[in-house]
Every structure is written in structure tokens, then in C-alpha cells.
Structure 1
Amino acid sequence: MSGPHQGGPGGALRRDRFAFGPLEEGEALVEPILGSWEANIDHALTRSPIDVCSSRGEDAVVLGNLGVVRVLKVNASGREVEVREGDLCLLMPFGKLDRFGYAELAYAYDAPRTIGLLARRSKLDARLLLPVPDGTTYSLPQWAAYGRYFTAWDNWRKAYGCWRTQIADDDPANHLVFGWGGGVAFAELMLAKRAGFRVAMTAGSDERVAFLREHGITAVDRRRFPSLSQPTPQERTDRERHRQRRTSVQEFQQLVRELSDGHGVAIFVDNIGEPLYDVTLGSLAREGVVTTCGWKAGMRLNHLRGAESIARHIHVNTHVWRLPDSPGIRDFQEAEGWMAPQGSDVVYDFDQVPELADDYANGRIGSYFPMYRVNPL
């Protein structure tokens, strides 16, 4: 990604050569195999909410901070390094850590001097590499979706823990967890289902509706509520658009009441943001939790603080996960099969990455787990 561009996100990508110096102590030379296309790449290409090139003070940035790589060489130089030449590893996307091990800056996004996976070769801190389990029964595309799952793990544990501070003893089967559509929300709802909650999620295509039903999630067809999102600035004086929205909101919230025995949503996974935020809050049960770990369509939110306090709503906001927790999350995935379902991914070849960028931005990808292949296995 470099320089100004015209057109869609794919136009922000430029194929070019770049150079990096020799391996420093503790660094590894890697060969990316599969990369996961994440919302942070889309944000970088659209230069919103920040322009990462300007933020990093660099003319060009190699994006891609989640995926599977093969280790080609390690410069240990006396350091304790847990990866070896030939290992297949997951890249942990941590550019700068705070004192508790959480990410302040994201690798290959806003962390300066970090080289992402959209390159035939890359070098990085070997401490960011987490080996794929030896003898795993899961495919590399399933492992390459780990970013959505690791993020979901952290966000769900915080949201569920907060909910339990107010609802200490009641059976989760009496409560609804709801998510706006997306891969992280899907992963969280699978955890909620394991915990005994009722689970439901929106989907905007026949393919995704069928996918959710196949995995035991009540699918709410988003097409039934065509005017659910907030009017755009251009539509705000259109009285008919506001009437249509009121109808969509009322019908949606009636469905939520039916799914929750009239109580509303106990935990609402909302990684969309501004266009649907008022609907999220209006759908919450008393003592409900709204939880987010992303901001796909708007970061600036407004609510009535008094109303949220009286309803005892808890707002949970998380980002990435805690680096020391990574091996435990990986091991849970391997042991419990909490993985992207086999065959649920879609993979673009390296030369098709600009097409992938535009398809993702324009909602043309049916899968929750879009990926790109850089090098053969």
C-alpha cells in the first residue's frame, strides 16, 4: 500500500519490490503461506479511521498481520527462541505491548517498521510466532482463520464475565446472545452456544443463512429489515426513509422479543458501530451487555448515559487479545474443535489480492473467512 489512489480499496495496493536488512538478534525470516483478510486491512486501504502511512511516517506499508507462515531462518544469537527452521506458525499481530501484554499498536498496521504478510518473504520478531500444533487434525485454512477466533475468545470472556457480575446464578438457557453478522461474532456465538445460551445472528445472503442454521445458530435474515441502518447524511431530510426505518426497527425488535421471551438480548455482539448502535441498545435486556472488539462502519457513538445506567447496561470494549494467552487459546481450539468449519473459507491467489480487497469492501464475499495465498505449502 502506498501513495494516493483513485477508486476502490484494491486501487490502494501496488505491487513492488522492497528491501529489508539482515536478520537482527531474535528475528526470523518467514515465507507467508496463507493470510487472513481482516477489517484492519480494509481500514488501512480506505485510510479510515487513520492513514497508517502518515501515522507510521512511511511512504509505503506492507499490510497483512494475521496468517500462517513457514519459518525459513532464525537468528537466535543466544536468545531463547521457540521456533525452528521449517516450522509452520501463526503470526501474533502485536506491534507494541502495554505492561500487561495487551496490544497498543498492531503489527503491520499502525506499528512502525513492521512488515506484513502481503509479501513473498518477510522478517519479524520470532517471539510473535506461535507454532501450529504438531500432528494437528485441522487444515491450514482452518488455522489461518485464528485471528477472528483469538479475538472472539478474549471479547467473549470479558463480556460473559461482566454479565455474570449482575446475573450470578440464572441459567444461560433463559437468555439470548445476539450478533450482527461477521466472523468474530460467529466465533463468539459458538462459545455462547457451548455455555448454554440461546444464540441468534443476522445474515444477508442465502449462503450465510444456511451456514448459520447448519451450525445451530438462529439465522435472522437481514433482508427482512432493509432500512434498519441509520439514514446517511444525504437521507436525513427524507421523511419516507425515516418512516421505513421505524418500521424495520420495530419489526426487528419484535423478533428479538420473540427469541428472548420478551426480555431482550443478554449479550449483544456489535462489531458494526454507528449505523446500528441505537438498535443494539434498544434491543438489550435489563442488565444486558453490549460488547465490541471492532468498528466496521463507524467509531463515534452516542447514547443516553442516564438511560444506560438505569437499565444497568454494561459496555465492553476490547482490542486484539493478551499475547501471553495465545498458546492457551490455540490449545483450546485444537482440543475442543472450536475452529472455522472445514471448507468455510474462500481463498484468492496472490495476484488476485486487489480483487479480494474490492470484493470485501463491497460485500461480494459469501464466506466469513476470506483469505489470500502467498506461497505454496
Structure 2
Amino acid sequence: MRLETFTLPPISPDEVLVRPIYGCWEGNMDHALRRSPVDICTLRGEDAVVIGNAGVVRVVEVGENVSTLQPGDDCIVFCNGTWDAHGYPVRILGYDAPGTVGVLAKTTKMHHRQLVPIPKESRASLKQWAAFSLRYVTAWANWRVAYACWKSQMDGSPPKDQFVCAWGGGVALAELSLARAMGCSVAMVTSKASRLALLSELGIDPIDRSGWSDASFEKEFLKAVEAKSGGLGVSIFVDNLGIAYKTALKALARQGVITTSGWKHGATFANSRAMECIGRHIHVHTHYARYEEGVESVRFAHENGWLPPVPEEAYPWDRIPELAEEYAHGRLDSYFPIFTVNEDLLE
């Protein structure tokens, strides 16, 4: 990471000039700094890239074709960088989409469909909306598909009989919160004492793996699943890590769904197609969301209080390298580490 000054070209008729207020550090930023699984500078054919695709920005200027936004509006970043004919993301803003400038810039510009206005009457903090912008939108879109897949085979099963389990970070937490709101039984795996306490506060059954060795992990986890599911297994398993993929498959119930929208610790896995067919397991893979899903998720969050628990303190601009280092080594307690960009715009 290094600090540089650059000049943005004028906005086009469909673009919006914005100043980021808060950002939320997330996995793609860590991938970018580690240049793994891809080197995005090489991929984009650019010498340097300004990363950051989760946050809240304030509108400064709008292009002549933009009618949905006006100067002074606060928006979440909707980080679909380039999209296909159906609106699904192909590349991500502030990551692998060529020419895009992320929220680690004091001023940047975005297409108007890369911004979703925050409801003006929202009582949630801008820090919460910054954390919401990537993880919760991803969770909304992924859960919509995963639950539809479960219902396609188990439409007669009421939510109270469904056990949803996850390991991972903020996206997994967001999906479990949705499942709990629907009436499902939910549980999440972690080893951090602070996260165990947070999960309990949120009504998510914590599974404490801190005492499990690598050798005993699978045995202990499957034992916990058996106890919490009444021996039926996991209806929907949210796995955005890939650290124990085969164990997750073993934990699935018949007709179970394993769903992922990320690949933090693994991008390629093998499985027994025969056993997955016999178990009638459905594998769901999604990548972020369509713009309409972003709008829907913001509306639902505003109306139902489906918002992330964020830390009181945000990392100031000059401590962002420290934040990156803490995240890379797994030393953060919060699922949603927040940093500031333009301090003069803070609440």
C-alpha cells in the first residue's frame, strides 16, 4: 500500500462524483494485497489499483443522465463493476474491474447503478451501512437462491424444522440472521470468546471450536451438528471459507444445500458426485448480487433492522495499513472492521 495523488477524469452523463465517508475492510482487499488468488494489477493491465468495494459515500456531483441521486445524498457502495446481460456481476468495482477506483480514495466516481441511496429517515449509523454494503447485500442474494433450492425439494418442511449452520465471517453471520428471522434454528462456528458472546446476543447458537485440535475437528463438529439438529443434519450450510469442505458435506442432511459466495481459504475442491447425488445435495455458488437485489436488501434492512453489529471505534485513515495487517493475521474481533476516509464528513 502507498499514498499517491492522481486526477480523475470528468464524470460521464451516467456517473456520479462521490467522497467516501466510511469503508469496511473485507476479504477481496486482503486478496488484492496478497495478490492471491490473482494479481489484480496484472489482470487489469494497470500498474497500480485503488482498492475498496465496501463503504458509504456522499454524492458531490451527478451526471446529466442521473435522476435518482442528488448532491448531498449518502449511499452504500454497490460494487458490481461490470455486469452481464441479466445484471449479474462479472467483475467487481475496486477489485478486478478495469479502470475502477475504490473507496481507498478521498474522491472517486461511480456509475449511478453502483450506488444505492440510504433511506433518509434511517436510524442506523453510517458505519452500519458501510458494513452492510458488501457483506449483507451478498448474503441477501446468496440466501435467496439457497433457500429457494432447499424449498424446491423440501417445500413441506416448515422453517422451525430447518437447521442452518455456518462458519466464516460477516456474510455468514448476515445469512444466519436472515434464517433466524424466518424461524429457522441457526448455529455458527467460531473460536474467539468475543464472537461467541456476540453470537449469543444475536440469538445465534455458538459452536465453540477453541478446544478442538486439527485432528479432532471433524469428529467434534459432526457431534455438535448431530446434537443441535436432532440427528437430522444441516439443512443449509453456509461455507465461505473452504477450510473443511468435506466435513461440511458430511454434516449435510439429505436434500441439504451447501451454499457459498466466497472462497477465502480455497477455490478448488473435489467431491464424490455419486454420494452427492444419492444424498440429493444441492451446491449453490453465487457472486455478489444484481442491482435490484441491492435495492431490495436495503429496503428490507431499513424496515426490519437487519443490520450488522459494528465496533464503536473506526480505524482512522492513517491506521489503515495496521488494519490490513490485523485482518491478514486473524487478529480482529469484529466481523465488520470499519475505517474512515474523509474525516470532515463523519457523523
TM range (shorter): over 0.9
Q: Is the 8 A contact 2:137 2:293 kept in 1?
A: no
Quote the Cα distance in structure 1 between the aligned partners of 2:43 and 2:67: 31
Q: Is the 8 A contact 1:346 1:370 kept in 2?
A: no
Larger radius of gyration: 1
- The Cα offsets for residues 70-95 of structure 1, whole Å up to 9 and x where unpaired, read as 1111231xx14311111111111011
Q: CA deviation at 1:26?
A: 2.1
Q: Say if 2:7 is the partner of 1:15.
A: no
Q: CA deviation at 1:133?
A: 0.5
1:97: which partner in 2? Answer: 83
1:329: which partner in 2? Answer: 297
Q: CA deviation at 1:248?
A: 2.5
- Equivalent position amino acid for 1:201 in 2: M
Identical positions, percent: 46
Q: Say if 2:102 is the partner of 1:116.
A: yes
The alignment yields a C-alpha RMSD, in angstroms, of: 1.2
Q: Is the 8 A contact 1:345 1:370 kept in 2?
A: no
Change beyond 3 A, Cα 1:172–1:126: closer
2:115: which partner in 1? Answer: 129
Q: Is the 8 A contact 1:347 1:371 kept in 2?
A: yes
Alignment of 1:74-85 (within 5 A): 74-76=62-64, 79-85=65-71
Q: Is the 8 A contact 1:53 1:61 kept in 2?
A: yes
- Give me the TM-score of the superposition, normalised by structure 1: 0.89
- The Cα offsets for residues 36-58 of structure 1, whole Å up to 9 and x where unpaired, read as 11111111111111110000000
2:329: which partner in 1? Answer: 362
Q: Is the 8 A contact 2:142 2:286 kept in 1?
A: yes
Change beyond 3 A, Cα 1:151–1:101: same
- Give me the TM-score of the superposition, normalised by structure 2: 0.96
1:152: which partner in 2? Answer: 139
1:265: which partner in 2? Answer: 234
2:342: which partner in 1? Answer: 375
1:176: which partner in 2? Answer: 163
Alignment of 1:217-366 (within 5 A): 217-227=204-214, 245=215, 247-273=216-242, 275-341=243-309, 343-344=310-311, 346-366=313-333
Quote the Cα distance in structure 2 between the aligned partners of 1:189 and 1:321: 18
Change beyond 3 A, Cα 1:178–1:321: same
Q: Is the 8 A contact 2:81 2:91 kept in 1?
A: yes
2:181: which partner in 1? Answer: 194
Q: CA deviation at 1:182?
A: 1.0
- Equivalent position amino acid for 2:9 in 1: G
* Length, aligned pairs only: 343
Q: Which structure 1 segments of 5+ residues have no match?
A: 1-12, 228-244
Q: Which structure 2 segments of 5+ residues have no match?
A: none
Quote the Cα distance in structure 2 between the aligned partners of 1:326 and 1:254: 37
| SS class of match (1:347) | coil
| SS class of match (2:197) | helix
- The Cα offsets for residues 297-344 of structure 1, whole Å up to 9 and x where unpaired, read as 010111000010001000000010111222221111100111113x44
Quote the Cα distance in structure 2 between the aligned partners of 1:259 and 1:345: 33
Q: Is the 8 A contact 2:31 2:37 kept in 1?
A: yes
- Equivalent position amino acid for 1:171 in 2: P
Change beyond 3 A, Cα 1:320–1:50: same
1:53: which partner in 2? Answer: 41
Q: Is the 8 A contact 2:59 2:72 kept in 1?
A: yes
- Equivalent position amino acid for 1:57 in 2: G
Q: CA deviation at 1:345?
A: 6.0
1:87: which partner in 2? Answer: 73
Q: Is the 8 A contact 1:35 1:67 kept in 2?
A: yes
Q: Is the 8 A contact 1:225 1:251 kept in 2?
A: yes
Q: Say if 2:207 is the partner of 1:212.
A: no
Q: Is the 8 A contact 2:87 2:291 kept in 1?
A: yes
Q: CA deviation at 1:65?
A: 1.2
| SS class of match (1:28) | strand
Q: Is the 8 A contact 1:345 1:368 kept in 2?
A: no
- Equivalent position amino acid for 2:81 in 1: G
Quote the Cα distance in structure 1 between the aligned partners of 2:78 and 2:103: 12
- Equivalent position amino acid for 2:189 in 1: T
Quote the Cα distance in structure 1 between the aligned partners of 2:158 and 2:295: 30
- Equivalent position amino acid for 1:264 in 2: G
Q: CA deviation at 1:249?
A: 1.2
